[in-house]
């Protein structure tokens, strides 16, 4: 892989995505990882990301110079560039000229990194310190008002660096520079395509599973459907999909799975009604992480029960189900604290929410992919578009959209409000414009309203429409007022328990997409 060393801030994610957009596989590692561990991953190239520190600050992450002696091509970006310059004996100083935002750089020597680029270009900068002198052996490629050395390279050693952020779209030729580094500097080929991902995974799944039985937790969403299709391609009828109705589903969900996915793929399906079990387990629970852990655990218990039944129902009653397929994605792993060096923001039900005594071995063929990549794989596999383009819906379902205790009555209220919002968004043709729109019930909050001649004392519903590229960051969607007005009117007219509809206008960060 190409390893992106994360020096903090949000840039590493974006760099990894841009590398993948160039059809080269990439992963993120923390800057605290020792050089020998980084090299043990056999990187094809390394990119040092930007970060919030100044190389002068006490405790600022330094780059171990031995990283540059391993013969692995390295690109330093922003902080990574300065850190690289410093580690190799160049001079970094605080000039007092901060460059922030769109900045013009002059390209004096296009070299390998900037090959073919015009002599002036607009790039995205964000720095206070700057490189004053390039280390020995390096050619200076570009300069700007605040940066005597804005880009450099040592072609002989395959070391490159730039002060600006090529991963940000405001750097007009940013993607080109990244590609020059990957294709020319590191000699990599654009081979990481959906077709190759599928071929690789199919082979890996066959090697792992052999002739054993496999089940897949199917929710009807994009991730589990694509994971199931991939495993079905690999091992065919050894796979049974298990759809757990946990009672936290939206209206019409179970029917949709049968209609869209099973009809198209002919996969073996087992439907389990576990709604009462989940409700009992969630009784009296209000803490979000506790809810998530309970739901994660109950999912597994439901899969175990289904697995025993599948074996019993099979002709010979022999064998056991050894493997559980899950549609876990890269952001789920990172946000559950599973990405190396990442903080645990919340326990996604299929990662941090798993019980310790798990009996299955997990197969997670999408664990390294972002959502848009999963969609591309799904389309390549022939998964119906109605599923591939579905908006995300979290495994814990409405359980984490009722703020407060989850009860059957509250679920009814939320389900009714959610159905209205979804219907109106679809009617307005907005489904592909927004990433998703959680509808949240503030079950412990009440406010006074008036309806007809009477006073009401009901609950608020929150609409949380967001736009996003990969759910790691998001912005609130500016939906047309008329659409919001229709949703609000219809919900308050048809759901008697709700007398107020509010709009969440928070980006992520600081708010996460779901409320719990």
What are the phi and psi torsion angles at 299 (to 5°)? Answer: -55, -50
Contact with ligand XMP (CB under 6 A) among 18, 291, 297, 348: 348
Look up residue 205 and give its DSSP letter.
Answer: H
Sign for the CA dihedral angle at 134, 135, 136, 137 comes to negative
What is the C-alpha to C-alpha distance for residues 131 and 152, in angstroms, rounded to an integer?
A: 10
Contact with ligand XMP (CB under 6 A) among 51, 90, 247, 396: 396
Q: Are 226 and 383 in contact (CB under 8 A)?
A: yes
- Residue 87 lies near ligand XMP (rule: CB under 6 A): no
What is the C-alpha to C-alpha distance for residues 248 and 418, in angstroms, rounded to an integer?
A: 12
Known binding residue 161? Answer is: no
User: Which of the following is catalytic: 127, 158, 165, 348?
Assistant: 165
Contact with ligand XMP (CB under 6 A) among 20, 349, 390, 500: 349
- Residue 418 lies near ligand XMP (rule: CB under 6 A): no
Q: Residue 51 or 327: which CB sits closer to ligand XMP?
A: 327
User: Which of the following is catalytic: 31, 99, 153, 167?
Assistant: 167
Q: Are 300 and 354 in contact (CB under 8 A)?
A: yes
User: What part of residues 173-202 is at the interface with ligand XMP (CB under 6 A)?
Assistant: none
What is the C-alpha to C-alpha distance for residues 151 and 145, in angstroms, rounded to an integer?
A: 13
Contact with ligand XMP (CB under 6 A) among 76, 395, 460, 465: 395
- Residue 513 lies near ligand XMP (rule: CB under 6 A): yes
- Residue 265 lies near ligand XMP (rule: CB under 6 A): no
165 annotated active-site: yes
CB of 62 to ligand XMP, least distance (A): 32
Region near ligand XMP per CB under 6 A, out of 96-104, 228-236, 392-400, 441-449: 392-400
Token pair in block for residue 128: 């206070």
- Residue 512 lies near ligand XMP (rule: CB under 6 A): yes
User: Which of the following is catalytic: 31, 78, 158, 241?
Assistant: 78
What is the C-alpha to C-alpha distance for residues 372 and 141, in angstroms, rounded to an integer?
A: 35
What is the C-alpha to C-alpha distance for residues 379 and 361, in angstroms, rounded to an integer?
A: 27
Contact with ligand XMP (CB under 6 A) among 250, 346, 375, 500: 346
176 annotated active-site: no
Could you count the other beta carbons within 10 Å of the beta carbon of residue 189?
9
- Residue 471 lies near ligand XMP (rule: CB under 6 A): yes
Q: Residue 137 or 511: which CB sits closer to ligand XMP?
A: 511
Q: HEC profile for 260-329? A: HHHHHHCCEEEEEECHHHHHHHHCCCCCHHHHHHHHHHHHHHHHHHHHHHHHHHCCCCCCCEEEEECCCC
List of residues contacting ligand XMP (CB under 6 A): 335, 346, 348-350, 392, 394-396, 436, 471, 508, 512-514
**Which residues are designated catalytic?**
78, 165, 167
């Amino acid at each position: 892989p190409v390893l992106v060393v994360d020096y903090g801030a949000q840039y590493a994610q974006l760099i990894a995505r841009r590398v993948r957009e160039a059809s080269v596989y990439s992963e993120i590692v923390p800057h605290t990882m020792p050089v020998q561990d980084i090299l043990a991953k056999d990187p094809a190239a390394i990119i040092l990301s930007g970060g919030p520190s100044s190389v002068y600050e006490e405790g600022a992450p330094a780059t171990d110079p031995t990283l540059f002696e391993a013969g692995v091509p390295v690109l330093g970006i922003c902080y990574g560039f300065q850190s690289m310059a410093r580690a190799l004996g160049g001079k970094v100083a605080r000039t007092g000229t901060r460059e922030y935002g769109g900045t013009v750089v002059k390209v004096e020597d296009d070299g390998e990194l900037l090959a073919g680029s015009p002599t002036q270009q607009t790039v995205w900068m964000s720095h206070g310190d700057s490189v004053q002198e390039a280390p020995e052996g390096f050619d200076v490629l570009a300069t700007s008002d605040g940066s005597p050395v804005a880009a450099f390279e040592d072609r002989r050693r395959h070391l490159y660096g730039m002060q600006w952020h090529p991963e940000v779209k405001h750097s007009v030729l940013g993607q080109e520079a990244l590609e020059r580094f990957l294709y020319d500097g590191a000699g990599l080929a654009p081979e990481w395509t959906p077709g190759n991902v599928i071929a690789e995974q199919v082979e890996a799944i066959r090697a792992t599973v052999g002739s054993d039985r496999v089940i897949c937790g199917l929710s009807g969403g994009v991730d589990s459907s694509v994971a199931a299709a991939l495993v079905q391609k690999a091992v065919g009828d050894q796979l049974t999909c298990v759809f757990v109705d946990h009672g936290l589903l939206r209206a019409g969900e179970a029917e949709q799975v049968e209609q869209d996915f099973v009809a198209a793929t002919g996969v073996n399906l087992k439907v389990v009604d576990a709604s009462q079990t989940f409700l009992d387990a969630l009784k009296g629970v209000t803490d979000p992480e506790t809810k998530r852990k309970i739901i994660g655990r109950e999912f597994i218990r439901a899969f175990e029960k289904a697995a025993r039944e599948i074996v019993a129902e099979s002709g010979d009653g022999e064998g056991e189900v050894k493997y559980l397929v899950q549609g876990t994605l890269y952001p789920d792993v990172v946000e559950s604290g599973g990405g190396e060096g990442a903080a645990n923001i919340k326990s996604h039900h299929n990662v941090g929410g798993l019980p310790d005594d798990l009996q299955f071995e997990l197969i997670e063929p999408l664990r390294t992919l972002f959502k848009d990549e999963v969609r591309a794989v799904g389309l390549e596999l022939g998964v119906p578009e109605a599923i591939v383009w579905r908006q995300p819906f979290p495994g814990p379902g409405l359980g984490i959209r009722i703020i407060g205790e989850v009860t059957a009555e509250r679920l009814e209220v939320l389900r009714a409000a959610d159905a209205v919002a979804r219907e109106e968004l679809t009617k307005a043709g907005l489904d592909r414009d927004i990433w998703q729109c959680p509808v949240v019930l503030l079950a412990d909050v009440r406010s006074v309203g008036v309806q007809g001649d009477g006073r009401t004392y009901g609950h608020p519903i929150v609409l949380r429409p967001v736009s996003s590229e990969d759910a790691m960051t998001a912005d609130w969607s500016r939906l047309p007022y008329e659409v919001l007005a229709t949703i609000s009117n219809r919900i308050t007219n048809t759901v008697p328990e709700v007398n107020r509809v509010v709009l969440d206008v928070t980006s992520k960060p600081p708010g996460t997409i779901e409320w719990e």
